Structure 1
């Protein structure tokens, strides 16, 4: 990676750290636009590298959550999601590596949740998974679990919109 690019990413994360309202209001948009204009893999890799050394673990956790949300829901990152899915399939398990920063390490449970979310984005190959989750949603009482699952299912791409024929 170019040293100017890396310095830019450091400064962007410093700005997000010092101006949390900017992160909340425009952070996802800024990162998505950068991913459109530059290499998304380099952006996520450099941010992960910088966040590993971040001393403010609360900010690092917020930033990781923001990056995960962008990665799992943004149409601009479809290719990167596919690459990660392929890596996961090949056995590259982040949860099996010793954590360098306990607050940022993925547990096996979190890794499985990421796999499930990636499968939800692949509507064509997982229609029964989505139908099962909608069935489960109908059985849940109106609670925080219901709200969470309902919100996740709202992020699932519409199969009719994916058809190009």
Structure 2
């Protein structure tokens, strides 16, 4: 499978959000998208990243961005995560890991000398025409909004 890179057309995805509503990349045509992939609801790094983006949601939307999170957690898990942390954007339940694989966010990980398949924390910035303009593979979970805006010089 070909690895995605900046300048590529973003793969069109479809998935169910926390409200069991199907959302697709096509729903956001004409908007810039922050599409972030994270391993698990309610874990320290994922909570820090999601809360950081949620706290900056007004600033991000004023700059034309829509934020979408994707993890392999269930819809019920996403509902609890959103409620517990007052998150203000869609989370897609990619339990079959289809979107994760489309975006090269599912792969081999290593921890404590052990190798296993898991979610690779990544963020894709997609422009209004559906082109990937930036990929973050080293995400600063506690300061992700500033990392994004700084790289894009916004």
Query: Do the structures match in fold with TM over 0.5?
Result: no
Q: Which has the higher helix share?
A: 1
TM-score after normalising by structure 2:
0.24
* Bigger relative contact order, structure 1 or 2 (CA pairs below 8 A, ≥6 apart): 2
Q: Which has the larger radius of gyration?
A: 1
